[in-house]
């Protein structure tokens, strides 16, 4: 095999930012680093590219090894290459972000590496430039959520309106007026109301909905215009909901 003469060789790492939603909060999956430098400090899921694999294969391998997760939404985010980003050795990292429904994959996460979920704004300080990676991934998630139905990757197939509102509020770090959110969401005509209810949070329960996939592509622009409007709206305080809203 021919090699480029006079060129230095560096390590190439892959780091994965795993966002999860449990029906109430948007969270981040972290592990404690098992080797120096920064041993035992909190880290994203990461590893090094092997000679016989491409970047996507490496990201999927690392996720499966460290968490047991596979066949989940995974998207390449950005390359991080500051000279001093890793005190151990010159390393360039390509980051990915993943989206999962925590309840669906809860049993699949292996306990071997003690992966732990954290509220994003209550996470511990991360090693190297991993906090910068998380911030960039959050910004990308907000941008993508405004132009694509990406956040449904974080929801179960059947969900409640309060769950959907919690998700969007968590992603955009704001509070939507409940009446406004419900009214505008129903006007899109993209959700199918089911007869069943989720009674885990109240005696009356909240009706379950599912996405109308047949109508989604045809009416996608309506939904995206709605999300763009809602993502720009903020309220100064959370308004009390009445009994009728709890049953939506």
Residues 120, 220 within the same domain: no
106 with 185, same domain? no
Q: Which of 227, 225, 223, 240 is nearest to 168 (CA)?
A: 227
Model confidence at 198: pLDDT above 90: no
- Would residue 152 count as lying in a domain? no
Number of domains observed in the structure of the chain: 2
Do 123 and 30 share a structural domain?
yes
pLDDT, mean of residues 27-31: 96
Of 147, 167, 190, the position where a domain reaches its end is 147
Tokens of 93: 């990292």
Whole domain around residue 29: which residue ranges?
11-147
**Token pair recorded at residue 215:** 């109508």
Contact 28, 123 (CB under 8 A): yes
pLDDT of 109-162, one tens digit each? 888 888 999 999 999 999 999 999 999 999 999 988 877 778 889 999 999 999
pLDDT at 164 over 70: yes
The domain boundary residue, chosen from 118, 147, 176? 147
We report the CATH number of the domain holding residue 198 as 1.10.10.10
Query: Are β-strands 159-160 and 206-211 bridged in parallel, bridged antiparallel, or unpaired?
Result: antiparallel
Boundary residue ending a domain (116, 147, 178): 147
Instruction: Tell me the average pLDDT across 200-219.
Output: 77
E-assigned strands of the chain? 11-21, 26-32, 42-43, 45-48, 73-80, 91-101, 116-119, 159-160, 191-198, 206-211
């Amino acid at each position: 095999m021919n090699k480029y003469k006079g060129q230095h060789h560096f390590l190439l790492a892959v780091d994965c930012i795993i966002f999860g939603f449990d029906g109430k909060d948007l969270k981040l999956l972290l592990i404690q680093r098992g080797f120096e430098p920064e041993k035992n400090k909190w880290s994203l899921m990461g590893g090094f590219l092997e000679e016989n694999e491409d970047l996507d294969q490496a990201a999927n391998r690392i996720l499966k090894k460290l968490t047991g997760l596979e066949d989940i939404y995974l998207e390449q985010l950005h390359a991080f290459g500051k000279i001093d980003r890793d005190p151990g050795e010159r390393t360039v990292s390509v980051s990915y972000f993943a989206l999962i429904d925590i309840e669906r994959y809860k049993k699949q996460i292996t306990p071997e590496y003690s992966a732990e979920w954290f509220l994003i704004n209550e996470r511990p300080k991360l090693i190297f430039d991993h906090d910068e990676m998380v911030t960039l991934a959050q910004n990308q998630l907000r941008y993508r959520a405004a132009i694509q139905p990406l956040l449904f990757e974080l929801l179960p197939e059947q969900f409640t309106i309060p769950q959907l509102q919690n998700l969007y509020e968590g992603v955009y770090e704001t509070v939507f007026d409940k009446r406004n959110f419900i009214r505008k969401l129903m006007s899109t005509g993209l959700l199918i109301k089911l007869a069943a209810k989720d009674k885990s949070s109240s005696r009356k329960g909240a009706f379950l909905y599912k996405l109308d996939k047949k109508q989604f592509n045809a009416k996608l622009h309506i939904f995206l215009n709605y999300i763009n409007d809602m993502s720009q709206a903020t309220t100064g305080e959370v308004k009390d909901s009445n009994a009728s809203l709890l049953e939506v």
